[in-house]
């Protein structure tokens, strides 16, 4: 487990860069001939000088912003007995010294993302992540994007091909071409592959799992930083590379990388739903196969979060959820008059992922699924078209009394929900604190209130009479019969 190191105290950014000159030369293009151990030692000196922490160690480092502008780092190292986590509190130099040094460092750091030594790649990626996540690079993001995005895309490149016409992801170009020529392929509910095992073990661009995790978290930090600055136009020329890299990480063979890649998809869907809409349906069809039935609950949770965002991302031009069409694939169903060509040649089997999630052995996954249903049913733009598909699963959630740590039954959120009908936005705010059955009931109450508002003319007699049922019954009661 890496530990904090003494940091060089410098009066200004120029002094900091001068103190690191020897290490920067070794890591620059002029130092390509240096031994890997020497380059790693130089990168270690740079990360220690900037943040007082060794970012080159084989650990998964996730920086985050604290109230006073410092950095809190969570380092997770894999051991024989499991994962060990360590929280390390770092502070930055006073007066923006670290931020001022970035213009002299970013080209070198982006170049080292493709270094042959794993420790150097890891140190470069995690140092850039620290800059982005701590908002130290806020002024320098425009000059960072043209160098950083291609570097990260190279670490997350994959053979997957987006088939726009089929709205599916093909595992490689040969498979996409075979499908275009009409060859019968295993569709796997939207993921095109010649063999099923190709879906679960895609080749990785970087052999290091830690580097791939760091790459996903750096991409997430970059999207968040650009969204905070309101400069999403900077990524207009790079969105395809960003989205394809995020997808490659979300379907990676490593659980840690899948989890981090799904978080990148969530960040992209929230920051740029207008871009995400073009990728949402094929991405959902692809990641659901490898993620929603994964053996680890944390991977299922991360994948479900990505599916929720991709499906619900608003596409205002057509007034629908960008990926709402993928709900049919998630349900494992299709229109009655649609038969795939492969069904004439082999058994045609589909999986209902909603049915799997509703009986998932982990209550946290079932709770997250209920929250997903609540969002799709209450705020998705074309929610009315999908109520008949979602309602059976919401009704099933009414019988789920599973205990969730984040939603105790004696909590304040449960007491506040009694007898209250939430507005859709308020429901989503309190949903994390409501148990599964309570959340499902609150969602049905919200849907009922919306139905009353939209059909008030038809329901006015029942509402005024205080009864539910057919109009004839209501008239009998009113007349006293």
The answer to whether 164 touches 187, Cβ cutoff 8 Å, is no
Residue 321, beta-bridge partner list: 314
If asked whether residues 426 and 307 sit together in one domain, one would say no
What is 332-361 written as a DSSP string? T---TT---GGGGTS------HHHHHHT-S
If asked whether residues 186 and 330 sit together in one domain, one would say yes
Boundary-marking domain end, from 294, 327, 353: 353
Range of the domain at 253: 158-207+228-353
| Count of the separate structural domains present in the chain | 3
* Residue located via tokens 């139905």: 451
Mean pLDDT of 397-408: 91
Q: Which region, left, alpha or beta, applies to residue 380 given φ > 0 means left and ψ of -120 to 50 means alpha?
A: beta
Report how far apart, in Å, the C-alpha atoms of 61 and of each of 10, 73, 108, 128 are.
25, 6, 20, 12
Distance separating alpha carbons of residues 118 and 349, to the nearest angstrom: 42
* Tens-place pLDDT, residues 141-177: 888 999 999 999 999 988 899 988 888 888 888 888 8
Query: Is residue 151, in this structure, part of any structural domain at all?
Result: no
Token pair recorded at residue 283: 């991405």
Q: How many CA atoms lie within 13 A of 223 on its CB side?
A: 27
Report how far apart, in Å, the C-alpha atoms of 37 and of each of 33, 44, 309, 321, 364 are.
12, 10, 42, 50, 44
Mean pLDDT of 79-91: 52
Query: Is residue 153, in this structure, part of any structural domain at all?
Result: no
DSSP E strands: which ranges in 272-406? Answer: 314-315, 320-321
Query: Is residue 402, in this structure, part of any structural domain at all?
Result: yes
Describe the strand order of the beta sheet including 191-192 as a list of residue ranges: 161-163, 168-170, 191-192
Would you say how long the chain is, in residues? Answer: 481
If asked whether residues 187 and 235 sit together in one domain, one would say yes
Report how far apart, in Å, the C-alpha atoms of 459 and of each of 39, 391, 445, 463, 471 are.
74, 21, 16, 6, 9
Query: Is residue 223, in this structure, part of any structural domain at all?
Result: no
* Tens-place pLDDT, residues 294-312: 999 999 999 999 999 999 9
Mean pLDDT of 199-213: 86
The radius of gyration of the chain from alpha carbons, rounded to an integer in Å, stands at 26
**In this predicted structure, what is the pLDDT of residue 67?**
46
| Minimum mean pLDDT range among 29-43, 185-199, 328-342 | 185-199
Residue 193, beta-bridge partner list: 186
Q: Which region, left, alpha or beta, applies to residue 56 given φ > 0 means left and ψ of -120 to 50 means alpha?
A: alpha
Boundary-marking domain end, from 82, 106, 137: 137
If asked whether residues 48 and 178 sit together in one domain, one would say no
* Average pLDDT of every residue of the chain: 83
| Minimum mean pLDDT range among 48-57, 242-251, 320-329 | 48-57
Query: Is residue 193, in this structure, part of any structural domain at all?
Result: yes
Query: Is residue 218, in this structure, part of any structural domain at all?
Result: no
State pTM to two decimals: 0.88
If asked whether residues 179 and 296 sit together in one domain, one would say yes
Query: Is residue 191, in this structure, part of any structural domain at all?
Result: yes
Longest Cα–Cα distance in the chain: 98
- Note the helical H segments in 156-254: 173-180, 197-200, 209-229, 239-250
Our separate counts of H helices and E strands in the chain read 22, 8
If asked whether residues 325 and 472 sit together in one domain, one would say no
Q: Rounded to 5, what percent of the chain is helix, strand, coil?
A: 60, 10, 30
If asked whether residues 199 and 342 sit together in one domain, one would say yes
If asked whether residues 240 and 173 sit together in one domain, one would say yes
Band (194; pLDDT cuts 50, 70, 90): confident
If asked whether residues 415 and 292 sit together in one domain, one would say no
If asked whether residues 378 and 346 sit together in one domain, one would say no
Boundary-marking domain end, from 319, 353, 387: 353
Query: Is residue 147, in this structure, part of any structural domain at all?
Result: no
**In this predicted structure, what is the pLDDT of residue 72?**
56
If asked whether residues 89 and 57 sit together in one domain, one would say yes
If asked whether residues 349 and 365 sit together in one domain, one would say no
The answer to whether 59 touches 210, Cβ cutoff 8 Å, is yes
Residue 14 reports pLDDT greater than 60: yes
């Amino acid at each position: 487990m890496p530990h904090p190191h003494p940091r060089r105290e410098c009066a200004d950014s120029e002094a900091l860069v001068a103190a690191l000159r020897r290490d920067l030369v070794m890591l620059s293009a002029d130092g390509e001939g240096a031994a890997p151990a020497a380059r790693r030692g130089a990168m270690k000196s740079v990360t220690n000088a900037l943040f007082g922490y060794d970012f080159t160690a084989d650990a998964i480092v996730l920086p985050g912003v604290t109230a006073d502008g410092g950095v809190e780092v969570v380092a997770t190292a894999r051991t024989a007995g499991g994962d060990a986590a360590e929280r390390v509190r770092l502070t930055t130099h006073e007066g923006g010294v670290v931020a001022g040094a970035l213009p002299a460092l970013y080209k070198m750091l982006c170049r080292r993302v493709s270094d042959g030594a794993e420790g150097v790649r890891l140190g470069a990626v995690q140092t850039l992540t620290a800059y982005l996540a701590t908002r130290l690079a806020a002024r320098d993001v425009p000059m960072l994007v043209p160098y950083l995005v291609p570097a990260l895309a190279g670490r997350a490149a994959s053979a997957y091909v987006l088939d726009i016409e089929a709205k599916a992801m093909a595992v490689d170009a040969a498979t996409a071409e075979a499908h275009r020529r009409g060859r019968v392929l295993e569709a796997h509910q939207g993921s095109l592959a010649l063999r099923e095992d190709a879906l679960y073990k895609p080749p990785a661009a970087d052999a290091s799992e830690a580097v791939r995790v760091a790459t996903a978290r750096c991409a997430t930090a970059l999207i968040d930083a650009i969204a905070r600055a309101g400069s999403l136009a900077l990524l207009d020329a790079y969105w395809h590379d960003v989205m394809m890299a995020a997808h490659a990480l979300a379907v990676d063979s490593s659980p840690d990388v899948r989890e981090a890649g799904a978080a990148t998809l969530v960040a992209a869907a929230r920051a740029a739903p207008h871009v995400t809409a073009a990728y949402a349906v094929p991405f959902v069809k692809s990641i659901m196969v490898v993620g929603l039935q994964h053996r680890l609950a944390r991977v299922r949770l991360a994948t479900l979060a990505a599916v929720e965002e991709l499906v619900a991302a608003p596409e205002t031009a057509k007034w629908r959820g960008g990926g709402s069409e993928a709900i049919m694939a998630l349900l494992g169903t299709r229109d009655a008059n649609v038969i795939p060509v492969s069904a004439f040649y082999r058994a045609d089997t589909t999986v209902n992922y909603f049915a799997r999630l509703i009986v998932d052995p982990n209550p946290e996954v079932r709770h997250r699924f209920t929250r997903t249903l609540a969002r799709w049913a209450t705020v998705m733009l074309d929610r009315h078209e999908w109520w008949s598909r979602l309602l059976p699963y919401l009704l099933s959630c009414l019988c789920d009394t599973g205990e969730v740590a984040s939603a105790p039954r004696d909590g304040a959120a449960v007491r506040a929900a009694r007898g209250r009908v939430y507005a859709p936005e308020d429901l989503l705010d309190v949903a994390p604190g409501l148990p599964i059955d309570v959340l499902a009931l609150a969602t049905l109450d919200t849907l009922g209130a919306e139905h009353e508002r939209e059909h008030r003319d038809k329901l006015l007699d029942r509402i005024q009479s205080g009864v539910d049922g057919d109009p004839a019954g209501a008239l009998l009661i009113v007349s006293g019969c």
